[in-house]
Amino acid sequence: MIREAQPVLAPQRRERIRAMIRDGGVARVEDLRKSLKVSVATIRRDLEILEEEGKVRRVHGGAVSTESRLEEAVFENKTHLSAPEKQRIAEEAYKLIEPEEAIYLNGGSTTLFLARLLRDRSDLTLVTNSLQAAIELADSGPRVILTGGELRRISQTMVGPLTSAVLEQVRVDKAFMGTMGMSLEHGLTTTDPNEAYSNDVVAKQAGKVILLADSGKAEKVCFARFGDWNGVDLLISDKNLSQDFCKSLRKRGIKVRLS
Amino acid sequence: MIREAQPVLAPQRRERIRAMIRDGGVARVEDLRKSLKVSVATIRRDLEILEEEGKVRRVHGGAVSTESRLEEAVFENKTHLSAPEKQRIAEEAYKLIEPEEAIYLNGGSTTLFLARLLRDRSDLTLVTNSLQAAIELADSGPRVILTGGELRRISQTMVGPLTSAVLEQVRVDKAFMGTMGMSLEHGLTTTDPNEAYSNDVVAKQAGKVILLADSGKAEKVCFARFGDWNGVDLLISDKNLSQDFCKSLRKRGIKVRLS
DNA sequence: TCAAAAACGATCAAAATCCATCGCAAACGA
DNA sequence: TCGTTTGCGATGGATTTTGATCGTTTTTGA
């Protein structure tokens, strides 16, 4: 057997596999073998492990991302995880929207619920980087303005530097922002730096920033930080949010509303 | 480099079938077979599975969508008007795309056919103002960059001044442009000035401008003019295009290809 | 209504893919 | 140094998927 000068460590290799599947939505065993230069047996073993970890789902001939539409069951589950809470949060947020306003929604399932509530509000202007939200309102509803930018498949949002080109030219009254994690110590975080960047730009432009996050997000920390608690005017969450968390926020001057 | 026709993973193929049926409303087995390049037996088996999952409803000769949307009644009629011609035009256009290129697609049914052909081309970068094209490629395929801008419901495209903010920051090798009307005298026209504006910006930035228009568009004139015959490098149309029209264009130095 | 054409479903064989098992080599600790 | 562990590749049989064939059913058009 010929060894590479720099043998790739197994976890490294698995991470690459995961990334390839996430980016492409799917990957074939044969393609992975060629691009990683290991035997198919190794690829299969890796896929087996990744599947156990829930990172991918194997299918005959390769594997598909658990977060793409190809794997609808899982994706829907994620959307409907604590769906009632998210629905109530969205309804609470909806009450804050006044006639003729311009609002912003970022990606995420909570904001998607809010988008669905806007179908009859043709008086509003909606700015969003969420492809899903745009699709929901493709037929009727507010005037929709998309931010543009690179499509991030995993979240179905438009992210990156290009988004700011559009965002800098509009101003919204209220920005409703979902987040992956919110922590008293580490602030607001999401998984992707590009996503974080886009959120950042919006938070600066918006009249008011309203955070929508179910209690499951509390004290979660992800990779990329965005915004700042100081920039947040109001958090809407559910009743399961811990008292301590609420208090600390209120002490910092952030209003908290539990639905 | 010649790209070998790589076998597509089964879930991927089923998702494509589902998408085609969803936004076509219906699809014939024969069409699916041609477009996916598998046997009819496989198509039937896939339809059987999709029917069990409730995603489509089978009928003699093909399948129909279960999730019918209001808007599609209008939009899809147009998509399937002279669909075979558009399909062939798209296939012809596809041949022009070289590895690693950055291309642009605007809205319209012909360009949507082209978008569908790109699902295995993860080497490309696609810039588009078409929401439909983005949806088609939301799971896998090229890197997708959306232009942003105001959503024009009737065409499901992003249009207006905001688009230029993104477009000015990218440059594409080839722009494939659909149009509503093309006339020797009045040039290229579409129904909406905002749409025309976006097309204009792209045509200026693109390395080559390739016009995709079936013969039904010839000598049609709409409200808003965009671009210019001088900016067009190549027109791809179908065999029903009149000889006179071809000749006149060629005399002007525009290549014409009939599929 | 009837016959031709098209589409369908069942079946089977070929091909692709998967899985279990084995042996080898390197890394590690005693 | 030696035995153990871990990761990898290879082999062969099992499994899955696919495409082709053929008789049956449905649609079409006179």
The answer to whether the CB atoms of A166 and B170 lie below 8 A apart is no
Backbone phi, psi, residue A208, to 5°: -130, 145
Are A169 and A147 contacting, i.e. CB atoms less than 8 angstroms apart? Answer: no
Segment B153-173 shows an average pLDDT of 92
| Distance in angstroms (rounded) separating the CA atoms of residues B190 and B114 | 20
- From the number of C-beta atoms within 10 Å of its C-beta (0-12, 13-18, 19+), residue A3 rates as exposed
What is residue A191's predicted lDDT score, i.e. its pLDDT?
84
How confident is the model over A223-241, as a mean pLDDT?
92
Nearest residue, CB atoms, A145 vs list B12, B143, B162: B162
Interface contact A68-B140, CB threshold 8 A? yes
Closest of A257, A30, A176, A244 to residue B8, by C-alpha: A30
Q: Is A74 on the interface with B (CB under 8 A)?
A: no
Choose between B102 and B227: higher pLDDT: B102
Rounded to 5°, angle at Cα B174 from B171 and B176: 120
How far from each other are the two terminal CA atoms of chain B, in whole angstroms?
Answer: 23
Distances (CA, A) of A25 to A155, A191, A229, B8: 12, 17, 34, 12
Using CA atoms, how far residue A208 sits from A97, A179, A205, A228, in Å, is 11, 16, 9, 13
Q: How many CB atoms lie within 10 A of CB B224?
A: 18
| Average pLDDT estimate for A66-89 | 61
Tens digits of residue pLDDT in B169-178: 999 999 999 9
Are B105 and B115 in contact by the 8 Å Cβ rule? The answer is: yes
Contact between B207 and B173 (Cβ < 8 Å): yes
pLDDT mean over B91-116: 93
What residue has token string 């009045």? B186
Cβ separation B9–A144 shorter than 8 A: no
Contacts of A186 (CB under 8 A, 6+ apart): A221, A225
Mean pLDDT over residues A70-81, rounded? 45
Distance CA B226, CA B235 (A): 15
Examine the pLDDT at A259 and tell me if it is beyond 70: yes
C-alpha A27: how far from chain center? 23
Q: What is the mean pLDDT of residues B79-86?
A: 64
Find the mean pLDDT for residues A125-134.
Answer: 95
pLDDT greater than 90 at residue A105 = yes
Q: Which two tokens stand for residue A131?
A: 């492809």
* Residues B42-63, mean pLDDT to the nearest whole number: 90
Which nucleotides of chain D have an atom under 7 angstroms from any protein CB? Answer: 7-11, 16-21, 26-27
Q: If we measure between CA atoms, which residue out of B239, B188, B249 comes closest to residue B85?
A: B239
Hey, are the CB atoms on B165 and A145 less than 8 Å from each other? no
Is this model's pTM higher than 0.85 or not?
no
Looking at every residue in chain A, the average pLDDT score rounds to 87
**Residue A91: burial class (beta carbons within 10 Å; 0-12, 13-18, 19+):** middle
Is the pLDDT at B201 greater than 60, yes or no? Answer: yes
Q: B162: buried, middle or exposed (CB in 10 Å: 19+, 13-18, 0-12)?
A: buried
- Identify the pLDDT of residue A81: 52
- Chain C: nucleotides under 7 Å from a protein CB? 6-11, 16-21, 25-26
Overall size of chain A counted in residues? 259
- For an interface test with A, give the residue of B50, B124, B125, B151 to mutate (most A CBs within 10 A): B151
Report the pLDDT averaged over residues A108-137: 93
Q: Give the CB-side neighbour count of residue A179, counting CA atoms within 13 A.
A: 40
Contact assessment for residue A210 and residue A234, using Cβ atoms and an 8 Å cutoff: yes
- Residue B78: pLDDT band by 50, 70, 90 thresholds? very low
Helix, strand or coil, per DSSP, at residue A191: coil
pLDDT number for residue A7 = 54
What per-residue string of b and e applies to B27-62 under the rule 16 or more CB within 10 Å gives b? bebebbbebbebeeeebeebbeebeeeebbeeeeeb
Dig out the tokens for A166 from the structure.
Answer: 């559009």
DSSP 8-state symbol, A42? H
pLDDT of A252 strictly over 90: yes
A152-175: average pLDDT: 91
Specify the pLDDT at position A254: 94
- State chain B's mean pLDDT as an integer: 86
B82 CA vs D30 C1’ separation (Å): 28
Residue A69: predicted pLDDT: 58
Phi/psi for B114 (5° steps) reads -65, -40
The burial of A208, by beta-carbon neighbours within 10 Å (0-12 exposed, 13-18 middle, 19 or more buried), is given as middle
In A, which residues are within 8 Å of B163 by CB distance?
148
Report how far residue B239's alpha carbon sits from residue B220's, in angstroms, rounded to the nearest whole number.
17
User: Is it the case that residue A80 has pLDDT exceeding 50?
Assistant: no
Q: Is the pLDDT of residue A239 over 70?
A: yes
pLDDT band at A163 (very low <50, low <70, confident <90, very high): very high
Both structure tokens of A242 = 């811990």
How many residues belong to chain B? 259
A26 vs B10: CB contact, 8 Å cut-off?
no
- pLDDT bin (cut points 50, 70, 90) of residue A25 is confident
- pLDDT at residue number B77: 42
Distance between CA atoms of residues A225 and A10, nearest Å:
29
B 220-249 → A contacts, CB under 8 A? none
Burial class from Cβ neighbours inside 10 Å (0-12, 13-18, 19+) for residue B196 reads buried
Nearest CA in chain B to A135: B131
Q: Nearest-CA neighbor of A147 among B170, B246, B151?
A: B151
Q: Is nucleic acid strand C under 7 Å from B40's C-beta?
A: yes
| pLDDT greater than 60 at residue B125 | yes
